[in-house]
Copies of this chain bind each other. A is one copy, B any other.
Amino acid sequence: MTRSPLAPAAFPSLPAIPGVTLRVARAHYKQWDRCDLTFVTMDEGTAVAGVTTTSKCPSPEVEWCRDALPLGRARALVVNAGNSNAFTGNRGRAAVEAIAARVAGHLGCQPSDVFVSSTGVIGVPLPIDKAEAGLDAAFTAEPCGWEDAANTIGTTDTFAKGASTSAIVDGRRINLVGIIKGSGMIAPDMATMLGYVFTDAAVDSAFLQRALHDANRNSFSCITVDSDTSTSDTVLAFATGAAGNAPISDEDNDGADAFRAALADLCLQLAHLVVRDGEGASKFIRIDVGGAESDASAHRIALSIANSPLVKTAIAGEDANWGRIVMAVGKAGEPADRDKLAITFGGVQVASAGLAVEGYDEAPVAAHLKGQDIEIGVDLGLGEGRATVWTCDLTHGYISINADYRS
């Protein structure tokens, strides 16, 4: 697969997270010559939080994680790539239970301490024999680094995605590292894709859950590639506590604020990486909507623009077709007044008060649209509500990837 033109130059240098050990192995879920099973172990006392797809047809892995999350503790994560195990009934559930049991036996922990994700084709039960052989290989494999793990959780991704950030908590520097996969079947309003965040901070699990929920709302829930929502979307956050800080909780205001900010920053970095690997993407598009009646209304209007095939193809064609943005605002079903609407491309006003701006300078707009990073601004002129979402353009590449993909 050709590397996305929007990819960063290289995988970043990411710090080790004390208490977290990564391993990868070949389970041969598909006929391919690559690692496809990621096995992460975490020290005892690791807290966990998670957000999962809002799909009404979730995978057994999603159901498994949802059941385990309220317990708030984790010892291991297994990610299978190449087969999502979704829509496979009891056989799919049995595969997840077998994986958790085998890992629990190996580590001497509870099955509910083992988190499992799978990604790939829907409708084929994950073969238990391959999973078990893959796990056995992972148990004895040498530990690996973040880039190997990020590559191993990927499927149609064209580059490995990882990011990090840090904060000062309780007088100590704590690190957060995340890896993520996803490039198609990406839509917002839920946790999207498979993403994993690891930190050495000690964090109360209930606080971690609230912080992840908030971070998700402003990151993964604000991106869309194709408006389609996976049955397997999962984001998990693990906190090992190895940094030795006093556990962060709501009562710890300074530490809590610093951690929340760091987690939000990391989730946004990871979300942007997914958009930058959007199937067929040639442009990274930021859409700012302001002046709406509420933030929620602004968010829905921004997504209506971001999901519009006509807007996305116009950007692919480097065409300042603001009429299609008016169309997308109009179809959102949210309060809007045609005669108060203003639109900018790259900061240049092209329409205001319901009219094209007479004689606006087209040169900077044309130059902006020829770039890779596109900014669209919409002001509704109604109130104080605002939202930002990120998406990519819709190109021949998306059609080629998805019309030729064989189930």
Contact = CB atoms under 8 A, between A and B. Distances in A.
Interface of A: 53-58, 84, 86-89, 91, 121-124, 184-185, 187, 226-231, 307-310, 313-314, 316-317, 319-324, 326-339, 341, 351, 353-356, 394-396, 398-400, 402-407
A134 B385 CA distance: 45
A334 B399 contact: no
A405 B121 CA distance: 35
Q: Which of A231, A307, A309 has the most CB of B within 10 A?
A: A309
A186 B122 CA distance: 30
Q: Is the interface of A mostly helix, strand, loop or mixed?
A: loop
B122 A56 contact: no
A373 B317 CA distance: 31
Contacts of A314: 402-403, 405, 407
A13 B5 CA distance: 53
A341 B227 contact: no
A57 B341 contact: yes
Given A57-B329, A123-B356, A396-B399, 8 more contacts: A87-B323, A88-B354, A123-B322, A187-B331, A309-B394, A313-B398, A317-B404, A396-B400
Given A123-B351, A402-B313, A231 B307 contact: no
28 contacts: A55-B327, A56-B332, A56-B334, A57-B330, A84-B323, A87-B326, A87-B355, A122-B322, A123-B323, A123-B351, A187-B331, A227-B307, A228-B328, A228-B331, A229-B330, A229-B331, A231-B326, A309-B309, A309-B398, A309-B402, A313-B402, A314-B405, A316-B399, A316-B403, A317-B403, A320-B407, A395-B403, A396-B400
Q: Which of A53, A84, A230, A402 has the most CB of B within 10 A?
A: A402
User: Copy number of this protein in the oligomer?
Assistant: 2
A185 B327 contact: yes
Contact of A402 (B184, B310, B402): B310
Contacts of A185: 310, 327
Contacts of A86: 323, 326
A322 B122 CA distance: 8
A338 B246 CA distance: 43
A229 B91 CA distance: 42
A223 to B, nearest CB: 15
A262 B334 CA distance: 35
Given A309-B309, A323-B121, A329-B57, A339 B89 contact: yes
Contact of A122 (B327, B335, B394): B327
B56 A336 contact: yes
A317 B231 contact: no
Given A399-B396, A402-B314, A89 B57 contact: no
Contact of A309 (B91, B227, B230, B337): B227
A187 B308 CA distance: 11
Given A309-B228, A402-B314, A56 B335 contact: yes
A319 B406 contact: yes
A326 B75 CA distance: 32
Contacts of A354: 87-89
A55 B341 CA distance: 14
A394 B58 CA distance: 26
Contact of A403 (B313, B353, B403): B313
